[in-house]
Amino acid sequence: MLPRLFQGFLAAKNASSTLPIVSMTADPVASGLVESLARPGGNVTGFTNVPPDLSGKRLELLKEAVPGATRLAFLWNRLSPATLLSLRTTQETASALGLELQSREVQDSENFDTAFQTAIRERAQAFLTTPGPIIASHQARILHFAANNRLPAIYPYSEFVDAGGLMSYNPSYEDMYRRAAIYVDKILKGRQPADLPVEQPKKFEFIVNLKAAKQIGLTIPPNVLVRADRVIK
């Protein structure tokens, strides 16, 4: 859903330089939607849904949920907005935690088989992914790989957990939609998008699927479980 939203925002901006747009994207600066977060300029403002430290936080949660894991595979795609920043943050977090991070870039369907085979060959004990269209569009394939190989994983979308994945950590889109409505109200009352700074998420959701944990033989530590905003039993 979110990758398709980005394409819609970009198409709307390209179609009009005057129509006010309240967007929700990973990196609106790199994507060309705004000039800067503080001073968007033009007719677009809104929210970024990928704070700089978000990927590192996912890695920390995965390590706490699977304390014995030392080798983790990381699926990413350089063509997705903000991915390179996520990669750098994840690498820095892995180094600080003393983890071996196995970087696996996926750019199309064929790359997934190679990435999965390499992860198994190099004995990855868990994995995580960046957000982005290529990841979202291969949800079923990624979940099948995790379940079939009994690999714990944390995802950037709650939809993965609802579909049988183990864990997800992401901004609360419900909260961001409410805040977007406030921005729309300000614009309707005369404020210009160029003067409304692009804001970052303020609320996040951590979801744990105990059914998925049982299927792969994993016991989620109580100190991790108690922090979950939602638990699927």
Tens digit of pLDDT for each residue in 95-105? Answer: 999 999 999 99
Which two three-digit tokens encode residue 28?
Answer: 């609106």
Superfamily of domain 2-49+172-202: Response regulator (3.40.50.2300)
Kindly list the domain boundaries of the chain, sorted by start residue: 2-49+172-202, 54-170+205-232
- Res 5 pLDDT > 70: no
Per the CB < 8 A criterion, the answer to whether 196 and 40 are in contact is: yes
CA distance 139 to 222: 28
Q: pLDDT band for position 15 (50/70/90)?
A: confident
- Res 2 pLDDT > 60: no
Does this chain's domain 2-49+172-202 share its CATH topology with 54-170+205-232?
yes
Q: How many CB atoms lie within 10 A of CB 44?
A: 27
Q: State the pTM of this model.
A: 0.88
Q: Is 1 exposed, middle or buried (0-12, 13-18, 19+ CB in 10 A)?
A: exposed
- Res 51 pLDDT > 50: yes
* Sequence-separated (6 or more) residues with CB below 8 Å from residue 65: 152, 154, 166, 167, 208, 218, 220, 221, 224
First to last CA, the chain: 25
Span 70-113, pLDDT tens digits: 999 999 987 766 677 788 889 999 999 999 999 999 988 888 99
* Domain 54-170+205-232, classified CATH 3.20.10.10, yes or no: no
**Mean pLDDT of the 152-169 span:** 97
